[in-house]
Amino acid sequence: MLDLQSCALAFPDRPDWVWLRWYWGVTDLLRDGVTLDDVAARERGRIGCLATPYSDFPGGPVLAADYAAEWAGLLSGAGLLPLSPALSALEAGTASAEVGPVSRVAEVVVVPPIEGWRQSAEVWRAVCAGLGAMRPVYLLNGGA
């Protein structure tokens, strides 16, 4: 028999925000609809994984990286050190944003309300990696 914790760590392969909220919405780790100021007040000085679409962004990866760069600047201005898999992917010339290296050092995950984030497998992997490591995940206002 599986216990609830085992089920909560069995993340679906594809984005399923209803499932995620059912298992994780009752915890203090998943915070939905918060502002960047809220995140800054709680997490200032910490390293944040900036989870944005990249390879699956509707406008293409270059525009996705532009949005990620803009949000990285906003996070920096709020006192967090942003690490962006999308920006790293663009710099490295890779086809997709790998969250693994970032998730090992990030202390929080921040998901800005960028077009396509709900459907993005890259955002989903970053969120699941953060929750799986028991790190706070913030879905900024504009979240589903």
* 143: pLDDT strictly greater than 50: no
Q: Given 3-state DSSP classes, what are the helix, strand and coil percentages for the chain, each rounded to the nearest 5?
A: 45, 15, 40
Q: Which residues of 71-89 are buried (b: 16+ CB within 10 A; e: fewer)?
A: bbebbeebebebbbbbbbb
Decide if 10 is inside a domain.
no
Decide if 25 is inside a domain.
no
Decide if 34 is inside a domain.
yes
Decide if 83 is inside a domain.
yes
**Structural domain for 119, as ranges:** 30-140
Instruction: Flag whether the pTM goes above 0.95.
Output: no
Decide if 77 is inside a domain.
yes
Q: How many domains does the chain divide into? A: 1
What CATH number did the domain enclosing 71 receive? 3.40.50.10400
Write the pLDDT tens digit of every residue in 4-32: 556 667 788 899 999 999 889 888 999 99
